[in-house]
Structure 1
Amino acid sequence: MQRFFFLISLCTLSILVRAQDPSQRYPIIPFPSSLVPATGQFTITANTALLVQDKRFANEGQQLQELLQPALGKQLTANASASKILLQHDPSITSAEGYALRITPQQITLKAGQPAGMFRAIQTIRQLLPIGIEQPAKPLASLTLPAVTIQDQPAYAWRGMHLDVSRHFYSIDYLKTFIDRLALYKFNTFHLHLTDDQGWRLEINAYPKLTTIGAWRTFNNQDSVVLKRAVTNPDFDLPKQFLRQQDGQTQYGGFYTQAQMRDLIAYAAARHIDIVPEIDMPGHLSAAIKAYPFLSCTGQDGWGKTFSVPVCPCNEPTYTFMETVLSEIIALFPSQYVHIGADEVEKSTWAQTPACLELMKRENLKNVEELQSYFVHRIEQFVQSKGKKLMVWDDALEGGLKPSSTVMYWRSWVKNAPQKAVQNGNNIVMTPVSHLYFDSPPGSQSVENVYKLPVVPQDIPASQARRFLGAQANIWTEYIPTENRVDYMSMPRMTALAEMVWSAKKDYPSYQKRLLQHYLRMEQMGIHYRLPDLTGFAEENVFVDKAALSIRKPLASYKLRYTTNGTPPTATSPELPAALTIDKPQTVQVAAFTPSGVRGDVYALRYQQQAYAQPVTPAGTQAGLTCDLLKKYFKATTFMKDLPADSTYLINNLTVPKTVTAPSFGTRFRGYLRVPETGVYSFFYTCDDGGVLRIANRLVVDNDGNHFPIEKSGQVALAKGMHPFEADFIEGGGGFTLKLKYSVNGSAPAAIPDSWFTH
């Protein structure tokens, strides 16, 4: 009888495990290629044995020890024990980063063909362990892991993050912390942007002025902007340790010695992360030209029509300088790639320099774009002579590029650049500004936009897909002066990218559930992440008689606090009740607070009282909207007012006609919106660049100006029937986003049906 009961219990437990959502029990990001749930759990104690059964995994065994020791209070031994963790070599696992993991109640077995794969397996173990493993207050008696069988390997070879340390400078300690986060989410590439107009950040022995002069600056216009923002947000304050007094001036900057960089490279290599150095050339080199003026054609640094004055590709001393610098870079960095940028080059000085005109004639170069390619080809020849590969931004395609160069595609408005690159035989890393520039302001859709970006564009032939090595996100730091701000801008978007480039199968709803548990881990790790968005409301709200503000907390551990006196909420502000009654015009400011006191974004919810707009009855209406197209650049939609349209289209919904190819334009959508019931309607207007929405002759959403994709929302009280509809939209160049959703009386946002529009 007892045996029968035991069998029933096992069957019941098995059913429960199978029924449980894997995203809850196994909150792994990126999610493995194959995961089979199992019953039970493995318990790690101080008596558990850690057996590294192949010496090639000695480093990874030590990494696992360092993960577990703070929580258990001692290192695990290799003595025979009933409870074991085994690290084994498996030659059948041919992917360098692939691994197999099996957890049973009796044993943990990690298998890999290469050390990198074993390290990735340990990161999976880390994510399955309780979050207390990250900052244990005191030794624990035990740690538990859920039983499971995993087979895993990455979908793409290039899984990277970029950090610009030139615009603003960050300590070596923070770079190590950043690498730790890359390791946790199974990235393998850290692209370090070491030089730009604003600062040269790496010691070069042959040219000491690059750091004694080029690493420092007086405050520039970007520094002035962040200092103004620092008045209300300390995340924008310039770090005091990177300020110095020199010649009666306050200077800002810093640099890494080669010894420091060698230590950082070793730190990353132990975590199987490759640091790719970028020394931008021939443009973005004001810091170097300031230190060595002979590098420019004019003998001085400065600014051209669009970008900074570049180095001169027509003088041999330029190549001596570049080859000497690159020799030290190549000797320092084991990466197979050297990135030279080759983007945004102001070529006007070249066209006016006799030496350049003579060189162009001698080499039969038709224009200054081909002159840039001449420079890139010479640098590539040198880099290849040192056994390295050249990497450039996609701008370098314009004057001609050799197939041996690898291209980073960033200019999302140049739609044919990926096709042009693959047709030329170049490999590509995807990093489009539209989705993967993490210096763009994060918003309610930014994580989803990253997650759902295809690594291989849809119009690429299957035969050319192999040329897409993977993807990375870039953090350009003009307005990111502190480590906390880097955290905020990168997390949690970095986790979405991690799954996008690792996991062959995508499941965004599952990822969202797993991400909620990762917020708790980030909290424990001290990451100053951007808290998940608060939802269920609009920014501009209306009520007829009264309304109730009700916001669901993203995580139970958060507290929602609010104010109505015009000041942002603090940790001592009152908690938001389950339903806050609104019966008079006012502004309610709401923010979420983590247990450690980190405040999320502050939402200012403005309320105004409004009567239901009465419907109109125009005669002779037809389905759809009219769309006026103006082929011109606009800073704001207001500049389109009263201007004649270049052409007019009839469309079914709020979309830009597919035939529109102008890089910059404005559109005016006009017609009527027929709503099926009386109610308070919320509208969510996403624009890149800007837009304004008016319904029933009332301003509903103001999302104007030139900016990255941003969703803004507003409400309007509408009686059942037809109402005047006006939507303006501008695109300033660089690729556009235009979306409009609605909800009524608190329903989930949805696309507006075509049948609602008439004109």
Structure 2
Amino acid sequence: MRLPGTLPRLFGSLLLVAAAGIAGIGAGAAPADLTPTVPPLGQVVPAPASVQAGGAPYTLTPSTRIRVDGHSPEARRIGTYLAGLLRPSTGYALPVTDDHLPGGIQLRLRPSEQGLGDEGYRLQSSRGSVTLTARRPAGLFRAVQTLRQLLPASVEKDTRQKGPWKIAGGTITDTPRYGYRGAMLDVSRHFFTVGQVKRYIDQLALYKINKLHLHLSDDQGWRIAIDSLPRLATYGGSTQVGGGPGGYYTKKDYKEILGYAASRYLEVVPEIDMPGHTNAALASYAELNCSGIAPPLYTGTDVGFSSLCVPKAVTYDFVDDVVRELAALTPGRYLHIGGDEAHSTSHADYVAFMDKAQAAVGKYGKTVVGWHQLTGASPVAGAVAQYWGLDDTSDAEKAQVAKAAQNGTKLILSPADRVYLDMKYTKDTPLGLDWAGLVEVDRSYDWDPGAYLPGVPASVVAGVEAPLWSETISTSDHIEFMAFPRVLGVAELGWSPASTHDWEQYRVRLAAQGPRMAALGIDYYRSPKVPWPTG
């Protein structure tokens, strides 16, 4: 399906040329030599807003320097990050300097460039230099991700590779469509270490994802230390789906994740799911149960059977303690309170609970995020609802969400039958679930967030997010196989102008990412719908 508008004529022609080349390789044609090809300007994911190709390419050489604004420590840090990416494969020294001489790779912060916003950038490539310009450091970091993709895929390898290292000539000017472009990792059903989360952060950053939503609690495990309620982590975090050892993040661990995410310009959105999905908490503290009796720890995958005891005052002491400590740890603006599948909570109790939980979030200076069932209660001013319904979700439920949106509640779109990364690609996919249907790569891409929900003003769509639930996911290889390449499509829906959204052109650019993902060691799904290079 072609969404309204088309790519600029030059960009489209470049993609068609690339498609012909990829198809030729797939048909068995052998390349003339092993010299890396120069990716066409604009053949990146997400698609840039504006591409003006032309002029001689820039070539990295042993004498190339990375020149940054001397007055900006963040520009220097981004330059150092870029040098660290490029040195292993090129073998070049790539010193980071602030000498302001011409040539090399120039990183420039220009606060006067109002049109670039907080994350936009301009990349200008010519024979003499490549210049990255942004208004804010986040934009400079996003520009670096584009620069990476304009170099041959082998630049991502951690051993020295054969050049030349060329960047096509021309200018890219780029700003995001949405300010919220997220990915969620469920660390509750299966626990993932700090190192595993960092690896996922690096992979997401390449495609300009800017939010990492961590699902920190559920029936199967509590994953964040709370000093005032230590058994939540030490006991509630002691298992996982299938009965494994589980685990949890100390506050030091959590701060390490936050710091690493911030260095990649991702904001962490922590989630404590309430009042349902709380068996790990109920098992840890008997007084949170209406009966006063703690249930056993749970290692299955059923949902909807647990609930905090809404009438008890101690429940809100618990909520206050958890929100207070988590808010104090988290510099980002959002705190997610879940609210989905509270089947064991009456509607009246649900509304009463969500009123108090939202008040606690506001008390500690954070913005409420909840799953879209929050719209069935009373969303506070400024609250954000995360929609995870399906194409065939009832009209009444969609109307409830639309009414809240019309009253000012912002929406994050995560339709399960489009962007839930734990859904199987096909019936034969060895991992994942299929309750929301089968979600191939084209289905995860081929929809428009701005026009997805009837009655929802486009202006209230904050962005998109791709959740990865972990009932069947327990290793980094599992994460990568289920997330890649679908998360690239979600990243593009969040970043690129609606006019660039076209499956036939996207699949060509996606195919070109195959060698890059392989060079990064990402175990991605080779969808038959994408013309991956085979040479």
What's the TM-score bracket when you normalise by the shorter of the two chains? 0.7 to 0.9
Q: Secondary structure at the match of 1:299?
A: coil
Amino acid at match of 1:158: Y
Q: Which residue of 2 aligns with 1:425?
A: 408
Question: What pairs up with 1:688-699 in 2 under 5 angstroms?
Answer: none
Q: Which residue of 2 aligns with 1:173?
A: 195
Q: CA deviation at 1:325?
A: 1.3
Rounded to whole Å, the distance in 1 between the matches of 2:65 and 2:509 is 30
Rounded to whole Å, the distance in 1 between the matches of 2:445 and 2:452 is 16
Rounded to whole Å, the distance in 2 between the matches of 1:204 and 1:427 is 30
Amino acid at match of 1:192: L
Are residue 84 (structure 1) and residue 108 (structure 2) matched? no
Which of the residues 67, 87, 91 maps onto 1:69? 87
Q: Deviations 1:72-115 (Å, cap 9, x if unpaired)?
A: 34232535766322112232234100101100011111111000
Are residues 131 and 404 of structure 1, via their aligned partners in 2, closer, same or farther at CA, if it must alter by over 3 Å?
same
Are residues 344 and 141 of structure 1, via their aligned partners in 2, closer, same or farther at CA, if it must alter by over 3 Å?
closer
Q: Secondary structure at the match of 1:494?
A: helix
Question: What pairs up with 1:496-575 in 2 under 5 angstroms?
Answer: 496-504=489-497, 505=499, 506-533=501-528, 554-557=532-535
Q: Which residue of 1 aligns with 2:30?
A: none
Amino acid at match of 2:108: Q
Q: CA deviation at 1:59?
A: 2.1
Are residues 312 and 118 of structure 1, via their aligned partners in 2, closer, same or farther at CA, if it must alter by over 3 Å?
same
Q: CA deviation at 1:141?
A: 6.5
Amino acid at match of 1:252: P
Question: What pairs up with 1:317-466 in 2 under 5 angstroms?
Answer: 317-347=314-344, 368-412=346-390, 413=393, 414-443=397-426, 446-457=440-451, 460=454, 464-466=457-459
Q: CA deviation at 1:453?
A: 1.6
Q: Deviations 1:354-406 (Å, cap 9, x if unpaired)?
A: xxxxxxxxxxxxxx313212211112112112211111111122233334321
Are residue 209 (structure 1) and residue 231 (structure 2) matched? yes
Rounded to whole Å, the distance in 2 between the matches of 1:459 and 1:324 is 36
| TM-score normalised by L of structure 2 | 0.84
Rounded to whole Å, the distance in 1 between the matches of 2:11 and 2:232 is 60
Q: Deviations 1:416-449 (Å, cap 9, x if unpaired)?
A: 2431221332111111112111111013962111
Q: CA deviation at 1:491?
A: 0.6
Are residues 20 and 468 of structure 1, via their aligned partners in 2, closer, same or farther at CA, if it must alter by over 3 Å?
closer
Q: Secondary structure at the match of 2:527?
A: coil
Q: Deviations 1:246-299 (Å, cap 9, x if unpaired)?
A: xxxx75211111111101101110111001000111111101111111111122
Rounded to whole Å, the distance in 2 between the matches of 1:141 and 1:398 is 58
Q: Point out the more displaced range, 330-339 or 129-138.
A: 129-138
Amino acid at match of 2:443: N
Answer whether contact 2:275 2:307 (CA < 8 A) is retained: yes
Answer whether contact 2:512 2:532 (CA < 8 A) is retained: no
Across the aligned residues of Structure 1 and Structure 2, the Cα RMSD in angstroms comes to 2.4
Are residues 268 and 330 of structure 1, via their aligned partners in 2, closer, same or farther at CA, if it must alter by over 3 Å?
same
Are residues 400 and 370 of structure 1, via their aligned partners in 2, closer, same or farther at CA, if it must alter by over 3 Å?
farther
Answer whether contact 2:376 2:400 (CA < 8 A) is retained: no
Rounded to whole Å, the distance in 2 between the matches of 1:151 and 1:182 is 21
Q: CA deviation at 1:23?
A: 7.3
Rounded to whole Å, the distance in 2 between the matches of 1:73 and 1:147 is 21
Q: Point out the more displaced range, 204-213 or 486-495.
A: 204-213
Amino acid at match of 1:493: R
Rounded to whole Å, the distance in 2 between the matches of 1:18 and 1:416 is 38
Are residues 515 and 310 of structure 1, via their aligned partners in 2, closer, same or farther at CA, if it must alter by over 3 Å?
same
Which of the residues 157, 164, 168 maps onto 1:135? 157
Q: CA deviation at 1:411?
A: 2.2
Rounded to whole Å, the distance in 2 between the matches of 1:19 and 1:376 is 52
Q: Deviations 1:529-584 (Å, cap 9, x if unpaired)?
A: 1112279xxxxxxxxxxxxxxxxx84223xxxxxxxxxxxxxxxxxxxxxxxxxxx
Are residues 124 and 296 of structure 1, via their aligned partners in 2, closer, same or farther at CA, if it must alter by over 3 Å?
same
Are residue 157 (structure 1) and residue 198 (structure 2) matched? no
Gaps of 5+ in 2: 1-9, 19-39, 427-437
Q: Secondary structure at the match of 1:370?
A: helix
Matched-pair identity in % = 32
Are residues 184 and 77 of structure 1, via their aligned partners in 2, closer, same or farther at CA, if it must alter by over 3 Å?
closer
| TM-score normalised by L of structure 1 | 0.60
Q: Deviations 1:47-93 (Å, cap 9, x if unpaired)?
A: 11221124152221222121222223423253576632211223223
Q: Which residue of 2 aligns with 1:469?
A: 462
Q: CA deviation at 1:311?
A: 0.9
Question: What pairs up with 1:567-606 in 2 under 5 angstroms?
Answer: none
Rounded to whole Å, the distance in 1 between the matches of 2:198 and 2:16 is 32
Q: Secondary structure at the match of 1:435?
A: helix
Are residue 284 (structure 1) and residue 277 (structure 2) matched? yes
Are residues 62 and 144 of structure 1, via their aligned partners in 2, closer, same or farther at CA, if it must alter by over 3 Å?
same
Q: Which has the higher strand share?
A: 1
Amino acid at match of 2:105: I
Q: CA deviation at 1:514?
A: 1.1
Q: Secondary structure at the match of 2:56?
A: strand
Amino acid at match of 2:356: R
Q: Point out the more displaced range, 42-51 or 83-92.
A: 83-92
Relative contact order, higher structure (CA 8 A, sep 6+): 2
Are residues 45 and 306 of structure 1, via their aligned partners in 2, closer, same or farther at CA, if it must alter by over 3 Å?
closer
Answer whether contact 1:73 1:140 (CA < 8 A) is retained: no
Q: Secondary structure at the match of 1:216?
A: coil
Q: How many residues align?
A: 475
Answer whether contact 1:45 1:141 (CA < 8 A) is retained: no
Question: What pairs up with 1:45-124 in 2 under 5 angstroms?
Answer: 45-53=61-69, 54-55=71-72, 56-70=74-88, 71-78=90-97, 83-90=103-110, 91-94=112-115, 95-124=117-146
Q: CA deviation at 1:415?
A: 2.9
Amino acid at match of 2:403: K
Rounded to whole Å, the distance in 2 between the matches of 1:264 and 1:205 is 19
Q: Deviations 1:716-736 (Å, cap 9, x if unpaired)?
A: xxxxxxxxxxxxxxxxxxxxx
Amino acid at match of 1:108: V
Are residues 380 and 399 of structure 1, via their aligned partners in 2, closer, same or farther at CA, if it must alter by over 3 Å?
closer
Gaps of 5+ in 1: 1-15, 224-249, 349-367, 536-552, 558-759
Are residues 452 and 418 of structure 1, via their aligned partners in 2, closer, same or farther at CA, if it must alter by over 3 Å?
farther
Question: What pairs up with 1:655-694 in 2 under 5 angstroms?
Answer: none
Rounded to whole Å, the distance in 1 between the matches of 2:375 and 2:347 is 9
Answer whether contact 1:49 1:81 (CA < 8 A) is retained: no
Are residues 23 and 330 of structure 1, via their aligned partners in 2, closer, same or farther at CA, if it must alter by over 3 Å?
farther
Q: Secondary structure at the match of 1:428?
A: strand
Are residue 31 (structure 1) and residue 50 (structure 2) matched? no
Are residues 343 and 77 of structure 1, via their aligned partners in 2, closer, same or farther at CA, if it must alter by over 3 Å?
closer
Are residues 529 and 34 of structure 1, via their aligned partners in 2, closer, same or farther at CA, if it must alter by over 3 Å?
same
Q: CA deviation at 1:185?
A: 0.2
Q: Secondary structure at the match of 2:52?
A: strand
Answer whether contact 2:151 2:167 (CA < 8 A) is retained: yes
Q: Deviations 1:729-753 (Å, cap 9, x if unpaired)?
A: xxxxxxxxxxxxxxxxxxxxxxxxx
Rounded to whole Å, the distance in 2 between the matches of 1:458 and 1:259 is 40
Q: Which residue of 2 aligns with 1:185?
A: 207
Are residues 35 and 392 of structure 1, via their aligned partners in 2, closer, same or farther at CA, if it must alter by over 3 Å?
same
Q: CA deviation at 1:46?
A: 2.4
